[in-house]
Structure 1
Amino acid sequence: MAYNEFLSDRIVQYFKEKHVVFYEKKMFGGLCFMIDDKMCVGVNRDEIMARINPDIYEDSLLKKGCKKMNFTGRPMKGFVFLTEEATDLDEDLHYWLQLALDYNPLAKASKKKTSK
């Protein structure tokens, strides 16, 4: 797995401090944190992926270390990558994690794949 375990440990610590019920799932070559069966945040290499409210997406891209999440050549509105510049300090990491937690109840869950 190609993800920064120190970053994932920091996320786990924050979620536990906030009494967030979550589980981890290996996805996209990294580790995703699922809340209410929805992708909330993830770690891919040395970056954090966060699912935030699309209404604050454009403004969030103006913040240091925040960039569009672009796996396929098409950025997904509401999903951002956060570099070390955006998450190095606990205060900054907590800001982004809380944005993702705040949006999670509003986010739509992915459709479950059914087996044939």
Structure 2
Amino acid sequence: MFGGLSFMVDERMAVAAGRDGDLLVRTDPTEHDALVRRGGVPARMGDHRPMGPGWLTVPSARISDDVELGYWVEVGIGSRRSSG
């Protein structure tokens, strides 16, 4: 999905590892601004299609260590609580 390897939790996508090393993360939309400040980038499908505040891309440089990668995976897993 989205050109990467997706990981599902409770039948919902939590994160997807992109070919370029970036991570697509499903998020709680209410946490969008705080997560952008942490280093997430609003996700896009192509050049002109934003995916909305429930999705962020985390550049590979931001997840180069296990602690930061773990943080973002937990964000994706935790998003299932807010998305119904």
TM-score normalised by length of structure 1: 0.63
User: Tell me, which stretches of 5 or more residues in structure 2 are unaligned?
Assistant: none
> Is the contact made by 1:50 and 1:96 (CA closer than 8 Å) also made in structure 2?
yes
Distance in 2 (alpha carbons) for counterparts of 1:91 and 1:61: 18
Give the drift of 1:85: 2.2
Matched ranges for 1:1-116 at <5 A: 27-45=1-19, 46-64=21-39, 66-72=40-46, 73-75=48-50, 76-108=52-84
Give the drift of 1:28: 1.8
User: Tell me, which stretches of 5 or more residues in structure 1 are unaligned?
Assistant: 1-26, 109-116
> Is the contact made by 1:52 and 1:79 (CA closer than 8 Å) also made in structure 2?
yes
Residue-by-residue CA offset, 1:30-73 (whole Å, 9 max, x unaligned): 11111111111001121100001101111211223x21100142
Q: How high is the sequence identity, in percent, across the aligned residues?
A: 25
Structure 1 stretches of 4+ moved >6 Å: none
TM-score normalised by length of structure 2: 0.84
Q: Which one has more relative contact order, counting CA pairs under 8 Å at least 6 apart?
A: 2
Query: RMSD in angstroms over aligned alpha carbons?
Result: 1.4
Residue-by-residue CA offset, 1:61-101 (whole Å, 9 max, x unaligned): 1223x211001423221100011222111111111111111
> Is the contact made by 1:57 and 1:78 (CA closer than 8 Å) also made in structure 2?
yes
